Structure 1
Amino acid sequence: MLTNDLPDLKLLRLFDLLYETRNVTRVAEQLGQSQPTVSIWLGQLREHLHDPLFIRTSGGMAPTPQADALIGPCREILESLRRFAAWEIAFDPATARRRFCICMTDASHITLLPRLLAHVRAQAPGVRLEAARIDGNTERALESGEADLAIGYVPWLSGGIYQQLLYEQDWVCLANRRHPRIRARLGPKQYRQEAHVAIAAGTGAQLLDQALARERVERHVALELPGFLGLGAIVQTTDLITTVPRHIGETLAQTHDVAVHPCPIRVDAFAVRQHWHARYHHEAGNRWLRGVVSRLFGGAPAGTVKPR
């Protein structure tokens, strides 16, 4: 009668190999153990199963009827353990029906989302994308799985968050191409004299505010917007100028008749990264989405930064 305790995995591997080879020396070589150690393990297995299992004969170690009966269940257990060790829930974008939520700024709605959506619709027609704001709830949303990724400049995210660099951002100014006072170059003096459109939101806005304070520049703000919606049309139809990250600035310049000028004051650059929680680092769907974002927007050859 069998004991209630389960045999060690090493004993199951020994049983499988010995049944196949009928040779203790060859089993020892395959297991990387000495022959006396394998003999001790075989003794433990015999004691555990209350059967000699293998009898030495002129043709090698012959299995007993008990060994013949147990080899099938033993190999099923070993195969199940191999499948368990290599287990991964498959994600096939062509057939997947799933929602992905990405936290991003409204600038990314203009610069990143159209291209990402086009790719996902072509490669994963059953996948639905949802854009959410980057705010104080972002870290909790990534941890809970409510959000899958956060893309942007989010320096306050703390432990448990992986990140990957996508691209660097500097700052530019936008002005009407037919601006009455600005021609080929926007200088520091004109920057101080002209009226501005200020963007209140955006994760990089604090960097601009810090630069203005450092350079002692007090802008004349004629209009303040909560985001980038309508900014291109306003600059195109007025003599107002605005200071924005390069990616959104160049994107707006392509869709509106506005000129892009280097920013005449020094504003710290920042990095746009994608972020995800360690809980979902190995999850197949999350990995697929991160790979798509990296291929579409990853202009910098940088690896993943592990959470602290």
Structure 2
Amino acid sequence: MDKDLDLLDIKLLRLLDQLYTTRSVTRSAEALGQSQPTVSIWLARLRKQLNDPLFVRTAEGMLPTPRTDALMGTVREVLGGLQRLAESGVEFDPPTARRRFRICMTDASHITLLPRLLSHVRAVAPGVALEAGRIDGDLARALQAGEADLALGYLPWLDAGFYQQTLYGQDWICLANARHPRVVSESGDDWNLDVYQAEAHIAISSGTGYQLLDSALASHQVSRRVLLELPGFLGLSAILSTTDLIATLPRHIGETLARSTGSSGLRVLPCPFEIPGFTVKQYWHARYHHDAANRWLRGVCAELFIKSGSSP
């Protein structure tokens, strides 16, 4: 070659990755452990080397240019390769590690699993940060690319190229106001399928497990009068505890919500018809099966959610 290639500094590649993920100079600086002025200087250097603005300030944050969109696949491939080189043969040491893990999960797991996981990680690995990612159509690609480290939930479509480990099983229950005027007598004799069909309901539209509920309603020819549909569990306990509506949901999230409201808030009722159960698992891509940090994270989840039966 006639002249030396002007290679990009690894820290500049990491900045490009962070800016693309966060759309924020401030958040990128925090993630990289640098001051905001330093990150601004690095970004200026990147723009000069690549001869492109790379990111443009908008009301929605720092949005990437088409050149940046085109570069990101290569940038993340290079970063992943360098990380694997650096970690090859090196054990993960939780007390001294500085690492961010992205774990994809449903909003139910934000309530049932994430608090315990965060508490444990802070105690044994204070330099480790967690990020809760969404479960969506991009999940398989994100796990394969290393953009997500782990997925927790009921995800039967993750098969080829993925490992999985069962954490716990789930069946279904109903939740109602503890002072519900028709369905919460001490004997429980006033709760049956006819009453279930006569009452008004809240439906939760998120989560793959709800396909099982919808199929069971259809197969048993159970009618349900839905007055409110929610995209997730945010606000569910507050609505149930102040109305006479009924919710049908997996046992783990239902019992967790009931405990959080106290004995006077919500009451757990048996589901009056049969809904197939399912298993909550952790999933990871085969590329990271032997990665020391990923193995540690999987071991933590197994320790917390298998041995204790997932109960707090």
Q: Which amino acid aligns with 1:220?
A: R
User: What are the ranges of 5 or more consecutive residues in structure 2 without an aligned counterpart?
Assistant: 1-87
Contact 2:174 2:249 in 1 (8 A): yes
Contact 2:184 2:267 in 1 (8 A): no
- In the alignment, does 2:115 pair up with 1:114? yes
1:104 and 1:187 map into 2 onto residues whose CA distance is 33
1:136 and 1:163 map into 2 onto residues whose CA distance is 18
Residue number in structure 1 paired with 2:296: 288
Contact 2:169 2:277 in 1 (8 A): yes
In the alignment, which of 274, 278, 303 is matched to residue 286 of structure 2? Answer: 278
Which secondary structure does the structure 1 equivalent of 2:272 belong to?
coil
Which secondary structure does the structure 1 equivalent of 2:249 belong to?
strand
Which secondary structure does the structure 2 equivalent of 1:224 belong to?
strand
- 1:158 is displaced (CA, Å) by 2.2
Q: Which amino acid aligns with 2:293?
A: G
Q: Which amino acid aligns with 2:224?
A: R
- 1:230 is displaced (CA, Å) by 0.6
CA-to-aligned-CA distance 1:252-291 (integer Å, 9 cap, x gap): 0001210001100110000000000010001000000000
Residue number in structure 1 paired with 2:70: none
- 1:228 is displaced (CA, Å) by 0.4
Residue number in structure 2 paired with 1:128: 129
- In the alignment, does 2:302 pair up with 1:297? no
- 1:151 is displaced (CA, Å) by 0.3
1:90 and 1:141 map into 2 onto residues whose CA distance is 24
Which secondary structure does the structure 2 equivalent of 1:292 belong to?
helix
1:183 and 1:232 map into 2 onto residues whose CA distance is 16
Q: Tell me: CA distance 1:116–1:90, structure 2 relative to 1, closer, same or farther (3 Å).
A: same
Q: Tell me: CA distance 1:211–1:299, structure 2 relative to 1, closer, same or farther (3 Å).
A: farther
Residue number in structure 1 paired with 2:159: 158
- 1:298 is displaced (CA, Å) by 1.1
Which secondary structure does the structure 2 equivalent of 1:146 belong to?
coil
Task: Quote the RMSD (CA, aligned, Å).
Answer: 1.5
2:175 and 2:89 map into 1 onto residues whose CA distance is 48
Residue number in structure 1 paired with 2:244: 239
Q: How does 1:55-66 map to 2 (within 5 A)?
A: none
Contact 1:111 1:251 in 2 (8 A): yes
- In the alignment, does 2:273 pair up with 1:268? no
- 1:88 is displaced (CA, Å) by 1.6
Contact 2:102 2:150 in 1 (8 A): yes
Contact 1:198 1:221 in 2 (8 A): yes
Q: Tell me: CA distance 1:300–1:139, structure 2 relative to 1, closer, same or farther (3 Å).
A: farther
Contact 1:211 1:268 in 2 (8 A): yes
Q: Which amino acid aligns with 2:167?
A: L
User: TM-score, normalised on structure 1?
Assistant: 0.68
Residue number in structure 2 paired with 1:204: 209
Equivalent pairs counted in the alignment come to 216
CA-to-aligned-CA distance 1:171-225 (integer Å, 9 cap, x gap): 0000011100012432101110000000011120100000000111121101100
Determine which structure has more spread, i.e. the larger CA radius of gyration. 1
Question: Runs in 1 of length 4+ with deviation above 6 angstroms?
Answer: none
1:160 and 1:145 map into 2 onto residues whose CA distance is 13
1:196 and 1:274 map into 2 onto residues whose CA distance is 31
- 1:300 is displaced (CA, Å) by 8.9
Identify the range of structure 1 (135-144 vs 183-192) with the bigger mean alpha-carbon deviation: 183-192
Residue number in structure 1 paired with 2:33: none
User: TM-score, normalised on structure 2?
Assistant: 0.68
Q: Which amino acid aligns with 2:195?
A: Q
Q: Percent of aligned pairs with the same residue?
A: 65
User: What are the ranges of 5 or more consecutive residues in structure 1 without an aligned counterpart?
Assistant: 1-86, 302-308
1:140 and 1:280 map into 2 onto residues whose CA distance is 13
1:163 and 1:100 map into 2 onto residues whose CA distance is 18
2:230 and 2:300 map into 1 onto residues whose CA distance is 32
Contact 2:176 2:267 in 1 (8 A): yes
Contact 1:187 1:264 in 2 (8 A): yes
